[in-house]
Amino acid sequence: MTSALTTAPGFTGSLLDRVDAARHDAALVAAMRVDAQALLLCLDELRPSVGADGGLGWTALDTVANDVPLALLGRLDDRPRFVALTPGVSALRRSPELFAAITTLSPAEAGTYATARSLVDWHARHGFCPNCGHATDLFRAGWGRICPSCGAEHFPRVDPVVIMLAQHGEGAHARVLVGRQPGFPAGRYSALAGFLEPGESVEAAVARELHEEAGIRVHSVRYLASQPWPFPSQLMIACVALTDDDALVVDHSELEEAKWVTRDEVAAALAGDPAAPFLPPPAYAIAHTLFTRWLAEG
């Protein structure tokens, strides 16, 4: 049986070898591109194509025209893996079909998909230099863009987000704070979350977000786990913080409602008990990992 502490967070554990050295060797990338073993990730717009085995779909690289820009994802099972960089895809919205497909992937396969999705999206939105406005060119096998006018180099960005449980009380009496946003499915509650701002540590961002959204002061912030979240390119940093005062002042511009739930209530929610006071986030979301690991700590 897999324990809660060894269950991988969603989108983590990809088996891709990212072959960073190849990104700096144009001749090697060119050889990989004509390698008969090379494969192209199958994407339907930005949705993954999931095979009967529950894995990602791949096709022979020679099915794609020579002038289609590609990013080198890396090597997997000793075969070069690429993704096509399709202009204009970043405007596509997330759909129930997308998340249904992700639910069928293992965390490791979802991690490979996350790498590709975030790269494709970043290229689609960074065709012009933020330094001088000139059109940019792809370089480093798709892991950057360079400006031919001012020489500036640009690299795919990752935006850090803190997601956290505030805990009040200890042991069997411990409760954690959950909240729901207006757009959540009926009954769903999750951990509170927010983007880090320039100049903040993870600990400071956790404390600020919990104070802004729920009016509580926390201390003893500790890190539990992280996951990439490719919509478009966040790093979710999951933490637990302690508070000595459970009085809430909810910011209703951010949250529809927030409430304290006990260990038994979190356990019931994760077990799918219809009597549970909330529906948990899906298994591929780090909030699910956060609840699971917090419970396992006892």
Q: Please report, as ranges, the residues that interact with Zn ion according to CB under 5 A.
A: 129, 131-132, 134, 147, 149-150, 152
Dist CA 126 CA 251 (whole Å)? 34
* Nearest residue (CB) to Zn ion, 106 versus 131: 131
Judged by beta carbon, residue 134 or residue 219, the one nearer Zn ion is 134
Cα–Cα distances in angstroms (integers) from residue 159 to residues 6, 16, 21, in the given order: 26, 22, 25
**Closest distance of CB 94 from Zn ion, Å:** 31
Minimum distance from residue 116 beta carbon to Zn ion (Å): 26
Token pair 């986030």 is found at 281
* 286-297 and 263-270 helices, crossing angle to 10°: 130
The residue among 145 and 180 lying less far from Zn ion, judged by its C-beta, is 145
Complex with Zn ion: residue 128 or 223, whichever CB lies closer:
128
Position 20, amino acid: D
The distance of closest approach from Cβ of residue 188 to Zn ion in the complex, given in angstroms and rounded to an integer, is 44
Distance CA 48, CA 115 (A): 12
Kindly state the smallest distance separating residue 205's Cβ from Zn ion, in Å. Answer: 31
Q: Which is nearer to Zn ion, 90 or 131 (CB)?
A: 131
Nearer to Zn ion, 108 or 146 (CB): 146
- Taking the complex as a whole, how short is the minimal distance between the CB of residue 69 and Zn ion, in angstroms? 19
Q: Are 20 and 142 in contact (CB under 8 A)?
A: no
Within a 13 Å sphere around the CA of 112, how many CA atoms are in the beta-carbon half? 28
Q: For 18, which DSSP code?
A: -
Q: CA geometry: angle at 33 spanning 29 and 37, to 5°?
A: 120
CA quadruple 269, 274, 277, 282: dihedral positive or negative?
positive
> How many Å is the Cα radius of gyration of the chain?
21
CB 192 to Zn ion: min, Å: 39
Question: Of 128 and 184, which CB lies nearer to Zn ion in the complex structure?
Answer: 128
Query: Which tokens is 220 given?
Result: 């003893």
Shortest distance (Å) from residue 154 CB to Zn ion: 9
CA distance 289 to 224: 9
- Using left for φ > 0, alpha for ψ between -120 and 50, and beta otherwise, residue 70 falls in beta
Residue found by looking up tokens 């190849």 in the block: 22
Query: Shortest approach of Zn ion to residue 145 CB, angstroms?
Result: 10
Which residue number, 154 or 208, has a Cβ lying nearer to Zn ion? 154
